[in-house]
Structure 1
């Protein structure tokens, strides 16, 4: 507390500068993901290699549908031209209707459609794939209904001519119901935290990253206050090294609690958090804060060099901010990074923070176990370092 009173201006700068910088970066990033820009219609190619009445009818229904064209602008072309457009990043994806596609449907054979997405437009490619999967699901449902009716007619002993006539009628009726499903089924809208409000996403995301940066800064500040003279006196009073680091960790958590409370109050005022289950929400966020402070406290115990401690901490913060989804949502990151995201602490902490703020069930048991493991690592590292210094 003496150090805080003596260097309060330094502490204000340490906490204010990251807040200003990250707030500005979050504002810029949020502008890049506004609702209008994310939902702006994009082009996708449809390649009809069958060229039958049935495929032309299906394509016409797709191109005439207001619900679909509000998102996807179909481009009817051949495969060579479609691949060229995909390579030139002019379309979000392409789908190929293969030869004999209509005949295979009539015979009950399942032939998959080839849907190719544009990796440079991950969100649009994902939406296009969902549209195609939806169409395939409803087509499969229609096909199952037609086959069921046909089997019933066969068991009833209807003549081949009557079965053929009824089959064609059912094919048309079931297909029209599938294509006109918005008139048959009730449409509901489910929004995730990010899709519902991009500013909510960045509000939570940047605050979690700020907790991580503040945890590092307060541990770095405490590390500078514990001079060799003070450490020697503590050791003379039989204050073991692991107790010193454990006390630093606990003091850092307590010191950052007012900032955590301020963040929750800001969430409530900005309608990001409704204020429900205050104790549960506060407890979950305190756990996340304790986890970040334990991370840097363990590094402080393991690394005696100040420069090495700062370098390693900076690398962890940089990797966490990029791959953890703080500025660029994990949805937009390249697929090859998915394997690494599981090893980034920020990925799990950010997911837990979203669940806590949204009032959903968060996997806090695993994070609690990780917190205990970090504290054990911190105490072990401090004990080893003290033994080496004594030797």
Structure 2
């Protein structure tokens, strides 16, 4: 560790360039990605509603949804035909359209499953995702209304009411329930999606850029130390009794310390720019997530270094490992923009877990944290590193 620290001190000019270059590169890349992906905050999401049932119940729902959304600054719903909705989507005027299908009312009253088809605009994936959450919420309210109506219908059948009177009574109950759930903006208020990438893109990409810079610095420090370790130096260390495990551990610890120092300086600047209120416990939580992520990333790079003897190949694979970690974390491209089937994998990867909790602590001001997943990852990688040390030493002997 002392030898590696001396090497870094001799290269102070290189370290200064190492501090500045990733910031300039990340600023350009993240700025380009943000400009392409993040929509205008003042432009509401345009959604079309197609009523194919054309009953008084479906017309009531269409009217209430349209009027409820008209007072919102983030969502607008227009009632059109299916042909008009498809034409509007082809012209990229709407992000999504959904249907109230034929027999919608009959299925509702008869207790049949009610399906609400939705078609999203592939050019507006994030808007389509938000609309999907809205439609899912709407479907839950429909299911709740259906359950209430069926219960009332069963009790009404036991009375002396005629079928026409019973249907009129059920319609009245349907109106009451619909007005209760939709007329007071309940559905739209409950389904406001707090997505930091779109609600506060500047803060999101500032923190994402910091996360990318931290990863690049960790890889760079480890690579610099490995480059300076010549075969002659490795031989002298071996003759002096320095094991492979001690050398790798020294590089990991020095890289870990140096990377966190630069990251702390940059985070202080970002915190000043974002103007968030951080208490001591918040610094502790954020620091633990940072330390666990940095340790896991460096151990992963070290494992590649141990098992790949060619330095250039090991460096290339290390870069690939860091790039995949950043891609799956959502720092380069928010995970919301990936296909729905792939998004289910992201929450189980260590970089995604780390960045999500960091975002919650900084942008959402979360006052609690769960370190279990990252701790399990760290223990697994650490045990794998110890096993690699033992196996490699035996193989060399």
Residue of structure 2 equivalent to 1:14: 18
**What displacement does 1:339 show?**
6.1
Normalised to the residue count of structure 2, the TM-score between the two structures is: 0.83
Distance in 2 (alpha carbons) for counterparts of 1:219 and 1:147: 66
User: 1:323, 1:330 within 8 Å by CA — same for their partners in 2?
Assistant: yes
Q: Distance in 2 between matches of 1:271 and 1:174?
A: 44
Counterpart Cα distance in 1 of 2:344 and 2:171: 50
- Listed one character per residue, the Cα deviations across residues 134-171 of structure 1 (whole Å, up to 9, x for unaligned) are 33333343444444444445556556676455444434
| Counterpart in the other structure of 2:296 | 291
Aligned residues: 388
Instruction: Say which of 78, 81, 85 aligns to 1:77.
Output: 81
Give the aligned CA root-mean-square deviation in angstroms: 3.3
**2:220 corresponds to which residue?**
217
> Please, which runs of 5 or more residues in structure 1 have no aligned partner?
none
SS in 2 for 1:253: helix
Residue 285 of structure 2 is matched in structure 1 by 280
CA contact (8 A) 1:193 1:201 kept: yes
Query: Which residue of the other structure, out of 302, 308, 311, is the alignment partner of 1:306?
Result: 311
Alignment of 1:371 onto 2:378: yes
The 1-side partners of 2:319 and 2:278 are apart by: 34
Answer yes or no: is the 8 Å Cα contact 1:46–1:96 preserved in 2. yes
Whether 1:27 aligns to 2:34 is no
Partner of 1:45: 48
1:354 corresponding residue in structure 2: 359
Q: CA deviation at 1:223?
A: 0.7
Partner of 1:239: 242
Q: CA deviation at 1:10?
A: 1.1
* C-alpha spacing 1:144/1:72, structure 2 compared with 1 (3 Å): same
Match of 2:269 in 1: 266
Point out where structure 2 has 5 or more consecutive residues left out of the alignment: none
Do the aligned partners of 2:111 and 2:146 also contact (CA within 8 Å) in 1?
yes
Residue in structure 2 matched with residue 104 of structure 1 by the alignment: 107
Q: Is the 8 A contact 1:93 1:116 kept in 2?
A: yes
Q: Quick one: distance in 2 between partners of 1:208 and 1:238?
A: 37
TM-score, with length taken from structure 1:
0.84
Deviation track 1:243-279 (CA, whole Å, cap 9, x = no partner) reads 1111211122222232232244234323346234033
Pairing 1:121–2:128 present: no
Residue matched to 1:3: 7
